[in-house]
Structure formats: structure tokens, C-alpha cells
Amino acid sequence: MIVSVQRLSVFVLIALLVAALCSVVLMGPSNYKINTDLNSLTPSLQLPDAVNDAVSQYSQAASNVVTVLLAGRDEQTLYEALDDFLILSEEHSGFSLLDSAESFESYTQLLQEHHFFIMTAAARKQIVGADKAGLIAMAERNLMSQQAWFRLTDLAQDPWGLVNEYALQASEKLAGNAEDILSYDGGAGSQFFTLQRLRLDLGNVDLGGANQIVPQLYSAIAQFQRSHPSVSVQLSGAALYAADTAAAARSNIAFISSVSMVGIVLLLLLIFRSLYALLLPLCAIFLGAGIAFVFSHQLFGALHVFTIVLGASLIGVAVDYALHFLYDYQHAQVQRNRQLTKALLYSVCTSIVGYSALVFAGLSVLRQIAVFSIIGLGVACAVVFALGPLLSRSELKHDSTLRRVLQWSLSRLAKLPFMVLLMGSVALFLIAFFIAGAKLPSNDHPSALYHLNPDLVEQERSINTFSEGFELASFILLEGQDTQAIFDRISELEKKLGSQAEQLFSLADLMPSPREQQENYQANARLFSTPALLQTLQADYGLVIEPQRLSTEYAQQKNNLLSVNQLNAALQEHGELLWIDDSAHQYSLMFIKKGSDLNLLREAAQELDSVTYFSVVESAQDSLHSLRKQAQWFLLLALGLIAAFMFWWFPPRQALRLSAVPIIAISVTLLFFICLQVQMNLFHAMAFFLVVGLGMDYAIFASELRERRLEAVTAITLSALTSLLSFGLLALSALPAVSAFGLTVLIGNTCNFFVSLCIAAQTPPRAESVS
Amino acid sequence: MIARKIGQMRCTLLVIALSALPLLGYGKTEPQNESLSTLLPKNCYSSGQFTQTRRQRGVAKPLLSYGAFVFSCDKGLIWHTQGPLQETLIYPLEGEVLTIIDGTTAPLDSRLQARIGKILNQLIGGQTDYIEKQFAVRTMTDKAVLRPKRKPLSKFLKAVVIEKKDGQVNINIENKNKESNSIAITQQDIKSSINLNRCTDLALVERSACAALFSP
């Protein structure tokens, strides 16, 4: 059997290697994409695809913006500091001052092109209700008023200043740099501050892009601070969190990987005292991970970095196969090797059955991990079968001390009733569960998955007290059949909110609705349909206008309404989200000013059709909650499938014992979580799959290789130690998602090991044999 | 020969003495501070009259208006245009700019007006320290040209030219579009203090404007 399995493994391995190499050559190594976007860890919002895409785009663009708060007690010093800061932002290539002036100029130009359709509602009301003298007075006011000191529009096109008035109103609402230095009462006398916004030159907010530019920004700020020690500088922005996470992840992953690798290598060298012993596990892991990477990438188009990290961890189970092979394989010992082959096959099959439950997960990262691990594990097992006989040596294992300890342990554990262990652990867990209110402590908030630097959080809080910007994570979604329908939704919501409507910024702040534009055009008939009034203005005030031309233009431009698409093109900063056209439906978003009453907005939106309040954070939290619940149910499914598999292949008593191993491990781990108030998230739930896989491996080997119990248990011990070094150390990671995974495996696998020793101690051998 | 030498020595001494005159304070250029202070006398409370001439692109002739103002260095400025258009703007030192329309005081949500208000407050109050922080000052005889030092101001303001002619101060504000607003302070009375009652008594601006600026 081993020979046929070996031959098959060699064949499959060669075929996969060739296929993988061809794939790499055809695709080109540079086309392999590793997605480091942290946003992929949280599920897609429950929004229509077009809106989801637009929100993602906006989030990316907004994530590239860093807000800088400069503050100080002396106004003059702050002015000088601001000058230097502006120069710094102009000179640095990695970031630039966010200046909305350009897009505002094109916006104003656009309004002028449709000037017969643009005016405020108040101006329209005035025009409609005024006589000729009133209309002249209106022009005089717009000309002579102190408020008309600086015009945005050309008088020749806009003699009444109606478009100018509209544009000035809009300019007040568009967020931009608070260019002025403002004062506030800091509690200990007046203080001064200014807010500036920088756009970083990043691709998207990922670990890679933020990595390069953010350190440059910090360095430039540090230099700036040295020149202006009395000015405080605070920064806020998603890119800063990304860079901080990247730095923490890099150092963590490097440390953990190094310690893990060194530990495993030393352990294997200690026991086998031969470099050959390292070859088989290393080949299994690297070939398994490599081929899994190639084929998973083909399937998904790009892989997330967490897929590679966690997927590779799951493949680490393959080290067990290599260890068992090295420990147990003996050339020309057919019966012995047959048992080993069976055990290995059972083990890999149960792990694949267990991981396959994740294929049905809602989060794409989890599906990627499942596919990556299944392929990797299969390949790793094939490597062990194919290369094991070649690399296995019958040298002495230097494990006498370990064997004595294990021998003693087995003799003690032989007296521990297994069913008591099973019932006891489950009972303790259930007691703790019900004491804790029949629920597991959990935290599905997205922030629980990231490492949030408290210093950055504090700076953000400080900046938010001054910032006039918009909420990034909350908005109101409007849906309609056409443009006017969207404006009607806006109007309904604003009526409902009353004065609180000031908290919102929408399309209606930048252009009149189609209906309003028609009304504006009708109102402008009083001003432009005949040149008479224009001629009066020309004569009385010396306006340099062409009355006849304007009148003719008015008549010709009857249908030249300003469209939303034209507005989108003119506005660069918020344009993508103010209007989203999805063939059958139109969508528009309303931005919410920071510091607004979100509950009020939510309640108001709930009472209206086609108006939805949306919070990205809340939605992500709901999604992560449901995904965690799903993972927990899938885990039960996995246990059921594995149990069914066990009962199919093994006698019932043996099948029950084997199936009980991961159940005990999970119960004890959950008991720990409840007692230590560890708040579970999706990654805790996911790690249980690995605990199940490892537990079944240990149990199957302990049971199947009972004739060489001590060798089997020694190999299991080595496996458990390598698992501790590779997974358990993840518990020390600064990334909460990774440490959650590691902690679960650390506790769970320790239980697996202990319970497997019990099985080994209590399973009688089929026959006594001398190895 | 000796007389020639004495003569040469006297010439040399005279040249040295003349060269040293600047060091002794004679013939030196007036410091900028003094010049600006002369053009814009520093005061904490004042009232007065103004005429305003606006040259606007697209308008062939200058737009003329006239009015009165009340200034308090700790409260702000009331700028009341009496004709041809009646309008009152209140530029407080802190808080929003206000406008009075048909007797009703309402806030004016305009960052631009807030900037204008700040500049007017400093010019009317002769706050040369502030002016020199915001502007590069070049002074000539009876004239000073202020150019904004910083981008936020220079975006909409090109220069402020202050001149004194026949005892009257003219402030000419030029913007980027080659438009200008020329304010001539035809009369400025410096007061020891101004409060709500005094402002009302002056009868230069509406009572509601005084209330808006001076009420506690």
C-alpha cells in the first residue's frame, strides 16, 4: 500500500509542481498580488454593488488624507509656523496640501455656464414678488453691498449677482482647510490653532503604501517641530493607523517567525541530530505553501496577507505528518508502514473535512484561508509520502529522556477514566457558560481586530473637537428613480430634521434640483427675457453688459439645465459619492458633519422611504457578529462531519474516543475564555478549526500506532511542541486578530496533547511487536 | 604748504564727519513703525464717517457709497453704509459677522467677510503690530503699501495702500481681479471709551447695531 501511495504521491506532486511552474511562468511573477488592504478583513457593506464600490473608493481617498492640528499660545508664532508648514507641504513630494480651490474654481465656472438656472430659493422668491423698481434695487444691492466686495462670477454673465450669491453660499459648506488661525479658550487663557489637511501619495490604505510615506511625514513633522518648539502638532488619519499597524505587524511577525523557526529547527536537530530530519518537514511546508499560493491566487485573483500568514499556519499541521513519518517509517517493514500510511491518510482527510467547513464562510478572507489550507495540506501530505522514504533514516533518535518522561506520564494517565475526562470538561464548560449568562464573552467591533495606538487615538480625539469635517464612517443613503426623486428625498429628510438639517451636506447644497432649476429659469424671465431691465442697469450703473446678447442667450438656453453628471465631473473631492448611477437606480449620499446627533439622523431616516442611515462601523460589527456565529455553527458542522467520518472508518467505541478529543479541547478552551473574560471574535472562532485538525491528528496517531505507542506519543509530543512554537507564539502578536488565533491554538492544542496521551495510555495494542 | 595741508585735513575731517552723521541719527530713514503709525493712529475707541469708492470689473464707473462707523478695540467694528444703499455690518472681534436687514440682526455665515472684518478692525484701530504680522509693509512719504505675507490672505487680496491726503486717510484695498475698494475716512473722532449707551448717543448707526456689538 505504501508503495502505491508513494507512487501516486510522486505522480501528483510532479503534476502539481509542473502545473504551478507553468502558471507562474505564464502569469509572470510580478502579476502576483498580495492584498494588504485592512478593509478586506471587515465584510462588504450590505449595500448595492455600485454603492459599495463607490463607498470603498471614497474610503480609500479619504483614508489618504491626514489632518494636522497646529496649536500654540502666541498667534504670531503660530502664523510663522503655519508659513513654514505650508512651505514644507509644497516642497515634499510624498504629500501635499489638500487645496479644494481648483475644484471650486471649476465648480464656479460650471455654475456660470448654466447661470440662468442657478439662484438661491430666497433670491427666486424675491424676483417673483418684486416689481421693476424692486428688481433694480436687488441688482443695486448685489452690486453695492459690502458683501459683494469680492465676486466669484463675471458680472457680464451674472449682472444680478445671483450665481455669485449661490456660489458663495456653497463655498461656505464645502469642507476645506481652515486657512485661518482661530482662537479658542483653552481653559488657561486664549490659545490659537489652525487645521490643515494633507493628501498622502498612497495607492490605497494598505500596509505597503502607508509604510513608505508615513515615516517621511513623521520625519518632516519632527523637523518642523524642532524649528517651532512652542507649537504643538497633532495628526489624525486612517493612513497613520495603517502605518502603525504595519510597523507593529512587521516587527511582530519577524520576531515570531524567527523564534518559531529557530525553535523548531533546534528541537528537530536536538532529537534527530541530522539535517535530513529538517528536510522533510521543510519541504512539506514550503512546497505545500508554495503550490497552495499559486493555485489559490489563480482561483481568487489576489490573496490577502492574512490568508498567507494564517493559511501557512494551518499547513503547519503537516509538520506532524513529517515527524510521524520520520519516527515510524522503517524500510521494508510492510505491516508497520501500512499502519503508518493509514494513520496519515485518516489524519489528512479529517483535517481537510474540518477546514472545508470554512469554504462556506461569508468573508472572502476565510474562504481563501480554507482553500489555501486544503490545497497546502494535501500537497504537504503528498510530499511526505513521496519524499519520506527517501529522506527517512533509521538513525537513533536522541529522545531517551523524553521517552522516560512520557512513559511515566502514560502510566499515570492510564488510570484516568476517559469518559470522566470528557463529561467533566463538557460539564465544567456548561456550568461556566450558564453562570456567564448563557453566552460567550465576545467583541465583534471592528476595532477589536486592529491594534489601535492609544497615542493616535488621543490625537484624533483632540483634533475632532476642532475639526469641521465630515463623518467618514456614517452617511445617509438616498435612492431614487431619477435626479428629481433624489432631491425630493433630500427635501423630505431636511423638513423632518428642521434646524438639525444643517448637520448634513448633500447634492442640494451644490446645485438646485431639476424642478428648482426650471423655476429659476422662469424667474429669470423677468430679468432676461427682454433687454429692458438690463439696459437700465447699463445706463444707471455703467455695467459693461450686452443686454441683447444676454436676452438672446436666455431664450436659447431653455434646456441647458445643470446635470448631476456635469457637477460630478467638476467636483473632485466629494463627487464620487454625491451621485452614483446604477442603470436602474440612482443613489446619492448625504455627508454628516462631525459632532452631529447620529441617533436623531438614524430615527429620521427610518421614518422615510428610500432613505437609509448607514454606519460603516455598525454594519461591519453586525457582519462580523454574524460571521462569528456562522463560524461557530460551521465548527459544529465540522465536528459532526469528522465524527461521521470516524464512525464510518472505526469501531464505535474508538470513533467516540477519537471524536471526543477536539470536543474536550474546545470545551476547556472556552472555559478558559469565560473565566479569564477573553472576548471572542471571529479569529478565535476560526482558530478552533485548527485545534480540531491538530486534535484529530494526535488522536488518530495515538490510536492507530498503538503497537509502537511510545514512538507515536514521542512524535505527538514533538508535534505539540512545534505547534506551540509556531502557533502558540502568535498569542504574543500585537495584532489582536493574530493573537486571538494564537491564544486559542495554544490552549486548545495543549488540551489536544493531553487528551491524546490519555487515548494512547488507554488504547490496548492490537498485538505486541518489537520494532 | 602747511596751509594746504591744514586745508586737506579739514576736508578729510568734514568728509568723515558727514559720513558719521547717519550714525548720529541725522538723515536716517524713518523706521516703518512710525510711518504706519502716523498714517493709522492707534486708538481704542473711535467713531467717524467714510466714503467708499469701488472699482469693479464689468462696471464702467466707480460705485460710490458713504456711511459711518463705530469702533471699539475690545468689541469690534460697526460699519454702517448710509447711501445709496442702507446696510449695516457688524464685525465683532469674536463670533460671527452680523448683518442688519430691515431692522433684523442676522448672522452672516461668510469666512470671507470674517477676514475682511478682521482687516478693517485692525486698520481702523491702527493696530500696526497686527498689520505688520500679516503684511509686508513698504512705506513712502505719506503712503504705505501692504502686501499679504500669507497665502490665505493673498488668495483674495493683492495689496492694501494707505495714503494720507489733506488730513484724510484713504485705504485702498485691491483684490486679485484688479478690482479695488477705496475707503476714505473723512472724519475720525477718538474717544476715551464707547459702550452701548455712548454708541446709541452717537446716533451714527442703528440702535440695534449698538446692541448687537456692545450688549454683554
State the cell numbers at A417. Answer: 477514566
What does the pLDDT look like over A307-342, one tens digit per residue? 776 666 666 677 788 888 887 776 666 777 787 888
Contacts of B114 in chain A (CB under 8 A): 180
Of B57, B85, B179, the CB nearest to A140: B85
**Element at A191 (helix H, strand E):** strand A190-200
Average pLDDT score over chain B: 80
Indicate if the pLDDT at residue B207 is higher than 50.
yes
**Residue A472, SS3 per DSSP:** strand
Per-residue pLDDT at A37 exceeds 70 = no
The x, y and z cell numbers of residue B58, run together, are 464689468
Peptide bond into B84 cis (omega under 30): yes
C-alpha closest to that of A711 among A409, A381, A335, A329: A329
pLDDT at B85: 84
Report yes or no: A287 and A14 within 8 Å, Cβ to Cβ: no
| Integer Cα distance of A691 and A340 in angstroms | 22
What are A173's three cell numbers?
459648506
- Closest-CA residue of chain B to A544: B58
CA separation for the pair A307, A533 (Å, rounded): 72
Count residue pairs from A and B with Cβ separation < 8 A.
87
Query: Taking the CB of residue B2, how many other CB atoms lie within 10 A of it?
Result: 6
Query: Which has more confidence, A450 or A401?
Result: A401
Question: Hey, of A150, A168, A545, which one would you mutate to test binding to chain B, going by the most B CBs within 10 A of its CB?
Answer: A150
Res. A666 pLDDT band, cuts 50 70 90? very high
Q: Pull the grid cell for residue B6.
A: 591744514
Put simply, whether B99 touches A (Cβ < 8 Å) is yes
Helices A305-315 and A364-391 pack at an angle, to 10 degrees, of 40
In a 10 Å sphere around its CB, with 0-12 CB exposed, 13-18 middle and 19+ buried, how is residue A710 labelled?
middle
Alpha-helical regions (H) of A301-451? 305-315, 318-328, 334-356, 364-391, 400-413, 418-435
Chain B partners within 8 Å of A167 (Cβ) = none
CA diameter of chain B: 92
- Report phi then psi at B181, rounded to 5: -130, 110
Angstrom distance (rounded) from CA A585 to CA A480: 6
Containing H/E element for B158? strand B157-165
Q: Which residue of A has its CA nearest to B79?
A: A146
**Assigned C-alpha cell, A101:** 480651490
Answer whether residue A44 shows pLDDT above 60: no
Distance CA A292, CA A383 (A): 13
Distance CA B72, CA B47 (A): 9
Secondary structure (3-state) at A545 = coil
Confidence (pLDDT) at B32: 47
Q: Which of B111, B122, B149, B172 to mutate to test the interface with A (most CBs of A within 10 A)?
A: B111
Burial code of A587-609, b = ≥16 C-beta within 10 A, e = fewer? bbbbbbbbebeeeebbebbeebe
Checking if the pLDDT of A770 tops 50, the result is: no
Q: Among A388-392, A562-566, A697-701, B123-127, whose mean pLDDT is lowest? A: A388-392
Residues of B in contact with A76 (CB under 8 A): 133
Closest CA to A377 of A337, A417, A347, A338: A347
| Beta-bridge partner residues of B67 | B50, B81
H-run or E-run covering B180? strand B180-191
Half-sphere exposure of A169 (CA within 13 A, CB side): 20
pLDDT classification of A525: cutoffs 50, 70, 90: very high
A168: which chain B residues are within 8 Å (Cβ-Cβ)? 110, 112
Identity of the residue in B63, B99, B175 whose CB atom sits nearest the CB atom of A143: B63
Give the pLDDT score at A186. Answer: 57
Share of chain A above pLDDT 70, in %: 86
pLDDT digits (tens, 9 = 90+) for A355-388: 787 777 777 777 888 888 888 888 888 888 888 8
- How much is the pLDDT for B19? 42
8 Å CB contact of B114 and A180:
yes
**Phi, psi dihedral angles at A72 (to 5 degrees):** -170, 170
Name the residue facing A149 among B60, B114, B116 (closest C-beta).
Answer: B116
Q: Are B159 and B134 in contact (CB under 8 A)?
A: no
Identify whether the C-beta of residue A72 lies closer than 8 Å to the C-beta of residue A192. Answer: yes
- Per-residue pLDDT of A208-232, as tens digits, reads 555 678 888 898 999 999 999 999 9
Question: Could you tell me if A360 and A641 are in contact, meaning their C-beta atoms sit under 8 angstroms apart?
Answer: no
Compute how many other C-beta atoms are within 10 angstroms of the C-beta atom of residue B74: 9
Which of B50, B78, B112, B128 should we substitute to test contact with A (largest number of A Cβ atoms within 10 Å)? Answer: B112
Say whether residue B106 is in contact with chain A using an 8 A CB cutoff: no
Q: Is the predicted pLDDT of residue B184 greater than 70, yes or no?
A: yes
Helices (H), A29-161: 49-63, 75-91, 101-113, 121-129, 132-144
CB-CB contact of B190 with B43 (8 Å)? yes
pLDDT in tens, A565-584: 898 888 766 555 677 777 77
Q: Is the CB of B56 less than 8 angstroms away from the CB of A143?
A: yes
| Contact assignment for A143 to B114 by CB distance below 8 Å | no
| Per-residue pLDDT at A47 | 67
Please report the residues numbered 142 through 161 in chain B whose beta carbons come closer than 8 angstroms to any beta carbon of chain A. 149-152, 155-156
Residue B101's DSSP bridge partners are B104
* Interface predicted TM-score (ipTM): 0.77
Beta-carbon contacts of residue A237 (< 8 Å; ≥ 6 apart): A63, A65, A66, A67, A200
User: Could you read off the pLDDT of A385-409 as tens digits, one per residue?
Assistant: 888 887 766 555 677 788 888 888 8
Q: Is the per-residue pLDDT at B200 higher than 50?
A: yes
Judged against a pLDDT cut of 90, whether residue A637 lies above it is answered with no
User: How far apart are alpha carbons A317 and A698 in whole angstroms?
Assistant: 10
Neighbours of B150 (CB within 10 A): 18
CB A104 within 8 A of CB A572: no
Give A453-460's long-range contacts (Cβ < 8 A, gap of 24+).
A453/A241, A453/A244, A456/A235, A456/A236, A456/A240, A456/A241, A456/A244, A459/A69, A459/A234, A459/A235, A459/A236, A460/A236
